[in-house]
Amino acid sequence: MSQAPELKLTPTPGQTIGPFYGYALPYEKDNELVNQAHPNSVRLHGVVYDGKGEVIPDALLEIWQADEQGQVVSREGSLVRDGYTFTGWGRVAVDNVGGYNFTTLNPGATEEGKAPFIMLTVFARGLLNRLFTRIYLPEDTEALANDALLASLPEAERKTLIATREEDGSLRFDVRLQGEDETVFLSYPRES
């Protein structure tokens, strides 16, 4: 990739989501990208932790992903789910013990040979700006080995980005904002 061009305008600063988004941002079926009855539905779940290993009970997470064929969809209806339209995006407020669940599909590779992943954005009281990361699917070990981002990380950090496939077929992905096994968070070109 060549050099990204300079920005013309300076981006507006972010601020914390604060504690009081609960009646504003969550909505009915916000974490159901597909209905649980969908034959290929997958549970993506985990816990959000702070630097002491305590659960964070007031984080908000969002995911954005391709469909099973690796197609990036552009479809309205994320906020008013009809139970049939896969929009690729979902949101969830964690529960009182920091846990979250999404019902979604396994994303396909968006390009031949690429490792499939789900984008994750983390917001929380106490977190002054949003954080981005990737939730990689664990299966395609060859694609994971060839992945440019994963290859640029030491093993201990690399594993924070790869979900675990549990026996029931669900994907487990914990988020650690700080401390031992701190999740690797990402920056992208053209942020400033």
**Nearer to another protein among residue 13 and residue 39 (C-beta):** 13
Minimum separation from the CB atom of position 58 to another protein (A): 8
Q: Residue 49 has which token pair?
A: 């932790």
- Whether the Cβ atoms of residue 49 and residue 59 lie closer than 8 Å to each other: no
Q: Is 52 left (phi over 0), alpha (psi -120 to 50) or beta?
A: alpha
CA nearest to 90, candidates 66, 63, 110, 71:
63
- Whether the Cβ atoms of residue 127 and residue 182 lie closer than 8 Å to each other: no
**Nearer to another protein among residue 101 and residue 127 (C-beta):** 127
For another protein, the binding residues in 91-130 under the rule CB under 8 A are 107, 110-111, 114, 117, 119, 121, 123-130
Residue range at the interface with another protein (CB under 8 A); choices 36-44, 135-143, 163-171, 173-181: 173-181
* CB proximity list for 140: less than 8 A, separation 6 or greater: 109, 115, 116
Would you tell me how many other CB atoms lie within 10 Å of the CB of residue 146?
A: 13
When asked if residue 1 is in the footprint of another protein (CB under 8 A), the reply is: yes
For another protein, the binding residues in 29-68 under the rule CB under 8 A are 50-52, 54, 56, 58, 62, 64-66
28, 37, 39, 76: which one binds another protein (CB under 8 A) = 76
**Nearer to another protein among residue 19 and residue 166 (C-beta):** 19
